[in-house]
């Protein structure tokens, strides 16, 4: 600072030094004029630089062509450096923020940030698809304007977030969401949304399974106990007695078959991989057809469409039981007069065994749950038809063990198609 | 100067609150409709009572919002787009309330059918389908209102035609049913009532979407034929 002052004084002193002799030898006015001109030049020089600085300060960009003269050079240099550093810092921060946002986007859980008035500040793509938000248009929008579910609104306004809220998502497929709200930084809130559809389904399956096993076994037990009591307390004639015993035998057979199916299921689950024998499909299909005809007793038309001579690799008894299950289901759920097709087809994609019927069909919402144990579309009907409720569960497990997929297509009132797709390596061309 | 700014921001706050309340009401109607559809599909008659109870809440909200609109106009004398918003809201509320009534009708129809020992979904599988479509329209119309998104609103208006066509085809199906087997007439008529209610929900969703266009663009597109003649 002092250097600048000394310089300015020196410049003034220099003008005075020239002006003084001129004023003394020539004329006083000439001396003053010269002195003023010197000072004026100095002023003009500073003003020019000041104007440059003033212009730049209106729009401070990093511009290397910006240079000052004399004492101004240092000022411009330092300003230039300062501006450049600042910009560098901002760029680094921006990148950091972008990385943080990218991390937020990468989360598999949905995240929504809310301000004190529950307006949306940020949400990631997962949350967008879970709640039907669009971040570009919905920033600043109260979240309850878009997630209008009354349960959610009450939960948010009540402000008790000790337990997560479980919400059935209203948008599209039946998803179950678990919403956590965590207050942070004063009045802001973070909404974390987990998709719990899968675990919700598993929970329900487990509950249903226990309830179903008990229920399935209790029904025949009740009948047995009832008859036993009657026989103990009342004297019945011989004929009546035989009838009771027959009914009791039937119920105990039923319990046996349920227990048998449960054991089969658990043994398939824990058994070593199936044998790798070559199963003769022609004779297997022939056997299936005969069984179907026997079960149908002439009420249905059984058609075999085997356009392939190839065989399958796997465990014969397991495959017989799985395919037999599909065929007997088709017979049982097809009204008299219907047609049942047994199809065996191989191609470049592998082999496909399918059973098609013109039966009552299954509503689409039941299809994903059909292979659950004891899952019944219509409780009364399937028990009358003599099922244990475990057939398709066994089929699915068996096919899984053979790396095959069970594919179910069905239209209510039109018919169903159950097909098992086998990989190419399971198919043996003859 | 400072005072008027304060007043106008208070006014903005009132408007925002009003909009949120309308959307809360919309949320209630949405759940009414979706539970009614579920009751139709699964036969869970237990939810019928809940739907009817919600209707009372919806009615209360309609009155409260209408009252708020009147107060807002009287106290603040809004102009231009603000005035359109208040008017639009008061119309949207009417449509929402009616959509809620239709949901109630569906629920009661479902209960009637089940109490007669029938399964409605066996007769009219298509009803479920248009019901989902109408619910989707209602949801989109409300989204369009929340975002003041006219593009989405126009989509909703166009979607209504599909619901109407499907409604007609369901009618034809049911008529065939009834002619084939007169025993199904009672149930079929109930299902026609339900389908009718669903179709009305679609209409109300369309109306809401039209009000959204009016709020945003100041253009009344309710009767396009008239407009093109003029």
- We report the CATH number of the domain holding residue A210 as 1.10.287.130
Q: φ, ψ for residue B216 (rounded to 5)?
A: -80, -45
Check whether residue A62 and residue A36 sit in a common domain. Answer: yes
Residues A313 and A419 in one domain: yes
Task: Say if A132 is an interface residue toward chain B (CB within 8 Å).
Answer: yes
Examine the pLDDT at B213 and tell me if it is beyond 80: yes
Residue B6: is its pLDDT beyond 80?
no
Domain-located, residue A100? no
What integer pLDDT is reported at residue A298 of this predicted model?
Answer: 85
Residues B7-56 pLDDT 10s: 568 888 888 889 999 999 999 999 999 889 888 877 777 888 889 889 99
CB atoms A148 and B121 under 8 Å: no
The two tokens of residue B223 are: 């009767």
Whether residue A319 sits in one domain with residue A373:
yes
Query: Is the predicted pLDDT of residue A140 greater than 80, yes or no?
Result: yes
Q: In what order do the strands lie in the sheet with A427-428?
A: A277-279, A311-314, A427-428
Which CATH number do you get for residue A397?
3.30.565.10
Tens digit of pLDDT for each residue in A380-409?
555 555 677 788 888 988 888 888 888 888
Nearest CA in chain A to B146: A145
Closest CA to B28 of A163, A294, A92, A148: A148
pLDDT tens digits for range A91-137: 999 999 999 989 988 888 999 999 888 899 988 888 888 888 888 88
- Domain assignment present for A24: yes
Same domain, A119 and A45: no
Residue among A195, A147, A151, A146 at smallest CA distance from A173: A195
pLDDT in the model for residue B144: 92
pLDDT at B5: 53
Cβ of B139 and A171 within 8 Å?
yes
A153/B149 touch (CB, cutoff 8 Å), yes or no: no
Query: Per-residue pLDDT for B98 more than 80?
Result: yes
Same-domain status, A297 and A413: yes
Residue A384 forms contact with B (CB below 8 Å):
no
- CB atoms inside a 10 Å sphere around CB B152: 19
If one compares B96 and A424, the residue with the highest pLDDT of the two is B96
Angle at A292 between CA A327 and CA A354, to 5 degrees: 30
What pLDDT does residue B227 have?
47
Residues A180 and A220 in one domain: no
Burial tier of A383 (Cβ tally within 10 Å: 0-12, 13-18, 19+): middle
The 3 state secondary structure assigned to chain A is: CHHHHHHHHHHHHHHHHHHHHHHHHCCHHHHHHHHHHHHHHHHHHHHHHHHHHHHHHHCCCCCCCCCCCCHHHHHHHHHHHHHHHHHHHHHHHHHHHHHHHHHHHHCCCEEEEECCCCEEEEECHHHHHHHCCCHHHHCCCEHHHHCCCHHHHHHHHHCCCCCCEEEECCCCCCCEEEEEEEEECCCEEEEEEEECHHHHHHHHHHHHHHHHHHHHHHHHHHHHHHHHHHHHHCCCCHHHHHHHHHHHHHHHHHHHHHHHHHHHHHHHHHCCCCCCEEECHHHHHHHHHHHHHHHHCCCCEEEEEECCCCEEEECHHHHHHHHHHHHHHHHHCCCCCCEEEEEEEEECCEEEEEEEECCCCCCCCCHHHCCCCCCCCCHHHHHHCCCCCCHHHHHHHHHHHCCCEEEEEEECCCEEEEEEEECHHHEECC
Is residue A330 located within the same domain as residue A424? yes
The SS3 assignment for B117 reads coil
* Domain termination residue (choose one: A44, A63, A89): A89
Chain A residues near residue B147 by CB distance under 8 angstroms: 134, 137-138, 141, 146
Instruction: Report whether pLDDT(B70) > 50.
Output: yes
For residue A186, count other CB atoms closer than 10 A to its CB: 8
Residue A64 pLDDT > 60, yes or no? yes
Same domain, A82 and A114: no
What 3 state SS string does B133-182 have? HHHHHHHHHHHHHHHCCHHHHHHHHHHHHHHHHHHHHHHHHHHHHHHHCH
Interval A32-47 mean pLDDT: 88
Beta strands across the sheet bearing A415-422: A301-306, A339-347, A350-357, A415-422, A405-411
pLDDT at B179 over 80: yes
Query: Is residue A223 domain-shared with residue A288, that is, in the same domain?
Result: no
Closest residue on chain A to B16 (Cα): A142
For residues A278-297, average pLDDT: 88
Instruction: Specify whether the CB–CB gap between A109 and A126 falls below 8 A.
Output: yes
Output the six-digit token pair for B190.
């109930």
* pLDDT confidence tier of residue A361, bands split at 50, 70 and 90: confident
ipTM over 0.90: no
Domain assignment present for residue A94? The answer is no
* Mean pLDDT confidence for A353-367: 86
| B contacts of A363 (beta carbons < 8 Å) | 121
With an 8 Å Cβ cutoff, is A119 touching chain B?
A: no
Residue A421 CA: distances (Å) to CA of A163, A219, A284: 45, 37, 17
Residue A102 lies in a domain: no
B/e letters for A392-426, b = 16+ CB within 10 Å, e = fewer, are: bbbbbbbbebbebebebebebeebbbbbbbbeeeb
Q: Determine which of B13, B14, B24 to mutate to test the interface with A (most A C-beta atoms within 10 Å).
A: B24
Q: Of A78-82, A285-289, B67-71, B124-128, where does mean pLDDT reach its minimum?
A: B124-128
Q: How many domains does chain A have?
A: 4
User: Over the range A339-349, which residues count as b (16 or more CB within 10 Å of their CB) and which as e?
Assistant: ebbbbbebeee
Hey, which of A247-256, A299-308, B117-126, B136-145 has the most confident mean pLDDT? B136-145
pLDDT tens for residues A181-212? 999 888 899 999 998 888 888 888 788 788 87
Nearest to A161 by CA among A179, A144, A174: A179
Burial A129-157 (b: 16+ CB within 10 A, else e): ebbbbebeebeebbbbbbbbbbebbebbe
**pLDDT of B122 strictly over 80:** no
pLDDT at B188 exceeding the cut of 60: yes
Mutate which: A117, A144, A150, vs B, most B CBs within 10 A: A150
Which residue in the set B20, B28, B147 is minimally distant from A150, CB to CB?
Answer: B28
Q: Give me the residue from B27, B125, B147 closest to A137, CB to CB.
A: B147
DSSP at B222: S
The answer, yes or no, to whether residue B226 has pLDDT greater than 60, is: no
Q: Please judge whether A148 and B125 are an interchain contact, meaning their C-beta atoms are less than 8 angstroms apart.
A: no
Q: Would you state the torsion angle of the CA atoms of residues A241, A245, A251, A257, taken in this order, to the nearest 10 degrees?
A: -170
A328 and A376 part of one domain:
yes
CB contact under 8 A, A412 and B125: yes
> Is residue B51 within 8 Å of residue B122, measured between CB atoms?
no
Question: To the nearest whole angstrom, how far is the Cα of B127 from the nearest Cα of chain A?
Answer: 14
Its domain, for residue A70, covers 3-89
- Cβ separation of B31 and A149 shorter than 8 Å? yes
What distance in Å separates residue A62's CA from the closest CA in chain B? 39
Nearest to A326 by CA among A288, A358, A277, A362: A288
Q: What is the mean pLDDT of residues A300-328?
A: 87
Assigned domain for A238 exists: yes
Q: What is the 3-state secondary structure (H, E, C) of B35-98?
A: HHHHHHHHCCCCHHHHHHHHHHHHHHHHHHHHHHHHHHHHHHCCCHHHHHHHHHHHHHHHHHHH
Strands A339-347 and A301-306: parallel
Instruction: With respect to residue A98, please indicate whether it lies within any of the assigned structural domains.
Output: no
Does A276 contact B at CB distance below 8 Å?
Answer: no
Cβ distance of A412 and B142 shorter than 8 Å: no
Question: Tokens for B181?
Answer: 């087997």
Residue B228's pLDDT band, with cuts at 50, 70 and 90, is very low
Contacts of A368 (CB under 8 A, 6+ apart): none
User: What's the mean per-residue pLDDT of chain A?
Assistant: 85
CA distance to partner chain A, nearest, from residue B41 (Å): 10
Identify the CA nearest to A408 among candidates A350, A357, A348, A332.
A357
Put residue A43 in one of left, alpha, beta given phi > 0 → left and psi -120 to 50 → alpha.
alpha
pTM of the complete model beyond 0.80: no
Cβ-nearest to A150 among B16, B31, B139: B31
Backbone dihedral angles phi then psi of residue A389, each to the nearest 5 degrees: 90, 5
**pLDDT over 50 (residue B229):** no
Which tokens go with A219? 């029904």
- Are both A249 and A375 inside the same structural domain? no
Neighbours of B136 (CB within 10 A): 18
Average pLDDT over residues A142-146: 89
Strands A350-357 and A311-314: unpaired
- Is residue A185, in this structure, part of any structural domain at all? yes
Give per-residue pLDDT as tens, A367-381: 888 888 777 777 655
**Are residues A377 and A248 part of one domain?**
no
Residue A36: inside a domain: yes
pLDDT at A386: 63
Which of residues A195, A222, A257 is at a domain's end?
Answer: A195
Split at pLDDT 50, 70, 90, the class of B3 is: very low
Q: Kindly state the average pLDDT of the residues A286-295.
A: 88
């Amino acid at each position: 600072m002092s250097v600048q002052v000394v310089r300015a004084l020196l410049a003034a002193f220099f003008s005075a030094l020239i002006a003084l002799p001129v004023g003394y030898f020539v004329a006083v006015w000439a001396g003053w004029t010269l002195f003023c001109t010197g000072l004026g030049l100095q002023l003009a020089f500073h003003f020019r630089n000041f104007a440059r600085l003033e212009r730049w300060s209106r729009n401070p960009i990093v511009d290397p062509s910006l240079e000052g003269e004399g004492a101004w050079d240092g000022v411009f240099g330092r300003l230039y450096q300062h501006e450049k550093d600042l910009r560098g810092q901002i760029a680094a921060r921006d990148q950091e923020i972008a990385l943080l946002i990218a991390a937020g986007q990468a989360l598999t859980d949905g995240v929504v940030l809310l301000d004190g008035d529950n307006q949306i500040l940020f949400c990631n793509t997962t949350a967008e698809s879970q709640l039907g938000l669009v971040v570009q248009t919905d920033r600043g929008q109260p979240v309850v304007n878009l997630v209008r579910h009354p349960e959610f609104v009450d939960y948010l306004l009540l402000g008790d977030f000790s337990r997560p809220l479980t919400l059935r998502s209203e948008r599209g497929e039946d998803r179950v969401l678990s919403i956590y709200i965590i207050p942070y930084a004063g009045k802001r809130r973070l909404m974390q949304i987990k998709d719990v559809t899968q675990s919700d389904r598993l929970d329900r399956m487990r509950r249903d399974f226990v309830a179903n096993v008990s229920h399935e076994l209790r029904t025949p037990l009740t009948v047995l106990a009832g008859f036993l009591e009657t026989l103990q307390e009342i004297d019945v004639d011989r004929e009546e007695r035989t009838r009771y015993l027959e009914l009791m035998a039937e119920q105990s057979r039923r319990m046996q078959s349920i227990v048998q199916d449960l054991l089969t299921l658990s043994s398939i689950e824990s058994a070593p991989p199936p044998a790798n024998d070559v199963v003769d499909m022609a004779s297997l299909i022939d056997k299936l057809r005969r069984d179907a005809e026997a079960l149908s007793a002439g009420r249905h038309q059984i058609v075999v469409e085997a356009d392939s001579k190839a065989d399958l690799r796997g465990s014969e008894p397991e495959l017989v039981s799985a395919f037999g299950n599909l065929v007997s289901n088709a017979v049982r759920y097809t009204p008299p007069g219907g047609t049942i097709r047994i199809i065996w087809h191989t191609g470049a994609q592998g082999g496909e065994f399918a059973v098609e019927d013109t039966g009552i069909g299954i509503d689409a919402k039941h299809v994903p749950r059909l292979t659950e144990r004891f899952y019944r579309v219509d409780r009364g009907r399937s028990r009358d038809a003599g099922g244990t409720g475990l057939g398709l569960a066994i089929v699915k497990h068996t096919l899984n063990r053979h790396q095959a997929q069970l594919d179910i297509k069905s239209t209510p009132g039109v018919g169903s198609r159950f097909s098992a797709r086998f990989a190419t390596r399971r198919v043996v061309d003859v | 100067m400072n005072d008027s700014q304060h007043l106008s921001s208070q006014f903005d706050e009132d408007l925002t609150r009003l909009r949120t309340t309308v959307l809360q009401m919309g949320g209630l109607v949405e759940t009414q409709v979706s539970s009614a559809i579920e009751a139709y599909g699964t036969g869970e008659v237990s939810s019928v009572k809940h739907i009817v109870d919600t209707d009372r809440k919806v009615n209360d909200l309609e009155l409260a919002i209408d009252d708020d609109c009147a107060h807002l106009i009287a106290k603040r004398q809004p102009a231009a787009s603000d005035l359109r918003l208040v008017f639009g809201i008061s119309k949207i509320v009417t449509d929402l309330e009616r959509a809620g009534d239709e949901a109630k009708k569906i629920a009661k129809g479902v209960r009637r059918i089940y109490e007669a020992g029938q399964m409605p979904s066996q007769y009219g599988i298509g009803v479920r389908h248009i019901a989902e479509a109408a619910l989707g329209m209602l949801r989109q119309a409300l989204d369009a209102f929340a975002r003041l998104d006219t593009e989405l609103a126009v989509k909703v208006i166009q979607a209504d035609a599909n619901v109407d066509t499907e409604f007609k085809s369901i009618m034809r199906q049911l008529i065939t049913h009834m002619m084939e087997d007169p025993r199904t007439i009672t149930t079929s008529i109930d299902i026609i009532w339900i389908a009718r209610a669903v179709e009305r929900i679609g209409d109300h969703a369309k109306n809401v979407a039209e009000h959204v266009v009016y709020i945003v663009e100041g253009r009344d597109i309710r009767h396009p034929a008239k407009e093109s003649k003029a």
